[in-house]
Every structure is written in structure tokens, then in C-alpha cells.
Homo-oligomer: A and B are copies of this chain.
């Protein structure tokens, strides 16, 4: 029961992109360095984030990756789900087919409560709030600056 490395890197890269000034675009090697992630692996993570419309990806000389407005507002949960799909603490909590034992299973409501408690925290933190917290108070220095 652990977050995937891909989702962990996605969160790191989103916070980093949110801290860049204005229209700044970042290149893959810079992002890999900033997030301590292997370039080839991070490249796939960035594709997923672009697919979820949380970042934009542009090729060419003036290309690179930039955060989109939806990315600034995204919660930690949205980033994880953009990479790994819906979080489901136990198979019995999956929507749709679910689990046949559900109605009689005394553990089911506990799994549901545990998942809800975790998701509430993950929904409470946005990229903007985390990026702002990361900057030293009173500091004007920014990544790449």
C-alpha cells in the first residue's frame, strides 16, 4: 500500500513548475535534476500530466514544459489520480462491480472510513498551496533565478 514512484515524481515536478516565474518553460533535463528523477521515467510522467491537462508540453527551440492554470489548482489527489488512476485502498471499495461480501463484511466500513480520511487530506492540499509553502518567507529567489 504505497504511492508509486511515478506519482511521487509527478507531485515533485508539479510543485517545481508552479514555482517558476510567469511563462517560464522548463526542459526535461532541468526537471529531472530538480526532482531527482531519471529523465526517461520522468518523460512518461510528464506525458500523463500533459494528457490530464495539468501541464503543457511544447517542442522546438522555445519548447519545454509549463504548468497550466488547472495545474496550479490541482490537489495532491488529482495529481496522483492523473498518474495512477483512482485511489482504492482495498478492492472492495472499487466502484461498479465492488465485492460480493460487502454487505456482510464488517471490515468494509472501516476500509471506507480509512480511505475517506486519507483522501480528505490529499484533497486539502493544492499545488499552489504547497509551492507557496516551499518558498522561504520573504524570499524573492525562484528556481532558475
Output the least CB separation between A103 and chain B (Å): 11
Is A2's CB under 8 angstroms from B117's CB? Answer: no
Contacts of A3 in B (CB 8 A): 1, 89-91, 111
Q: Does A76 contact B (CB under 8 A)?
A: yes
Output the least CB separation between A95 and chain B (Å): 14
Is B106's CB under 8 angstroms from A134's CB? Answer: yes
Contacts of A30 in B (CB 8 A): none
Given the contacts A117-B117, A117-B120, A2 and B110 also touching, CB distance less than 8 Å = no
Interface 1/0s, chain A 121-145, versus B by CB < 8 A? 1101100001101100000000000
Stretch binding the partner chain, chosen from A8-16, A39-47, A61-69: A8-16
Residue in contact with A113 in the complex, picked from B113, B114, B121, CB distance below 8 Å: B121
Of listed A84, A114, A131, residue having the most chain B CB within 10 A:
A114
Q: Give chain A's interface residues, CB within 8 Å of chain B.
A: 1-5, 8, 11-12, 15, 36, 76, 80, 84, 87-92, 100-101, 104-107, 110-111, 113-115, 117-118, 120-122, 124-125, 130-131, 133-134
